[in-house]
Amino acid sequence: MSARIIDGKAIAARVREEVAVEVQAFSERFGRAPGLATVLVGEYPGSAVYVAGKQRACREVGMVPFDRRLPANATFDQVAEELEDLNADDAVSGVLLQLPVPDHLDGPTLTSLIGPDKDVDGLTPVNAGLLSLGRPGLRPCTPCGVMELLSDAGAELEGAEAVVVGRSNLFGKPMAQLLLAENATVTVCHSRTRDLREVCARADILIAAVGRPRLIKGDFVKPGAVVIDVGMNRLTPEEAGNRSGLVGDVDFEAASEVARAITPVPGGVGPMTIAFLLRNTLQAARYHAELRSMFADLDRDSI
């Protein structure tokens, strides 16, 4: 069998077009566009490029980007103050702290200072808790993107065996919660899982987010499964040979002989993350606008 390739680039472009149309309607109705603030501390390799990509994507859909940068030696209090300013700024609908932050800072604690109503990465304890309780909130972007890819692939989630390899707070745990909410039977694997191959081979939906090049071999994949490869591993030129230097956690060639549908790396999950960051920013902007109009009505009523 040769698997259908799930085209994340095309699906992300469609999501971004939908967001652009909705942003225009939002801006016409409320007289201003949603705003997305990125906070970058220092110059971790790649982070400036990621932030520039987010800023550009924001402009492309008609949102207003706010680009805040602090030096690598910024103190905890300086970063906290920046986040609190953005929390208080009505022009800013969403705030994200680009991770990782320099070693002397505590990334999770700083992230938790972002107002839950502006937490467009969905990583604060409040939003993680809401997800876990099955209540509305802002969800992490990459797992949301994967749900969209699964939907596009026509994956039947109800009652399906879903295996997520990786249990990070950023991806694996929220991914498992989203699948559970759709009534999949979910198993989460990690570095201490016994017989990873045997667990993966049960999966109708197999999702790998590990950060180990080609860990998931062809014989880990159940015939007819849908395989989503979240891993992004940069190979050295010697390792890469004549391929692209970026590979996933799945042995793509072998797995695509067995799977029904599979994401490539690059061009699978990667483009979905920014698309859902924009979607979350719009969601946050709508929430703020509704709150403001509710309070405006209250003010009028009290006159």
110 interacts with ligand NAP by CB under 6 A: no
210 interacts with ligand NAP by CB under 6 A: yes
Q: Which two tokens stand for residue 56?
A: 């550009």
9 interacts with ligand NAP by CB under 6 A: no
Q: Which of 117, 119, 121, 251 is catalytic?
A: 121
Whether 180 and 186 have beta carbons less than 8 Å apart is answered as yes
Query: Does residue 283 carry a catalytic annotation?
Result: no
Can you tell me which of 60, 102, 193, 267 binds ligand NAP, judged by CB under 6 A?
193
203 interacts with ligand NAP by CB under 6 A: no
269 interacts with ligand NAP by CB under 6 A: yes
Query: Does residue 121 carry a catalytic annotation?
Result: yes
Minimum Å distance from CB 228 to ligand NAP? 10
Closest CA to 22 of 292, 270, 289: 289
Minimum Å distance from CB 199 to ligand NAP? 10
The interface with ligand NAP within residues 113-172 (CB under 6 A) comprises: 142, 165-168, 170-172
User: Applying CB under 6 A, which part among 60-68, 98-106, 205-213, 280-288 lies near ligand NAP?
Assistant: 205-213
Give the β-pairing of 185-189 and 205-208. Answer: unpaired
By Cβ distance, which residue is nearest to ligand NAP?
A: 168
Minimum Å distance from CB 192 to ligand NAP? 6
First to last CA, the chain: 70
Question: Residue 267 and residue 23: Cα distance in Å, rounded?
Answer: 25
The interface with ligand NAP within residues 217-246 (CB under 6 A) comprises: 230-233
Q: Which of 98, 118, 249, 283 is catalytic?
A: 98
Active site residues: 54, 98, 121
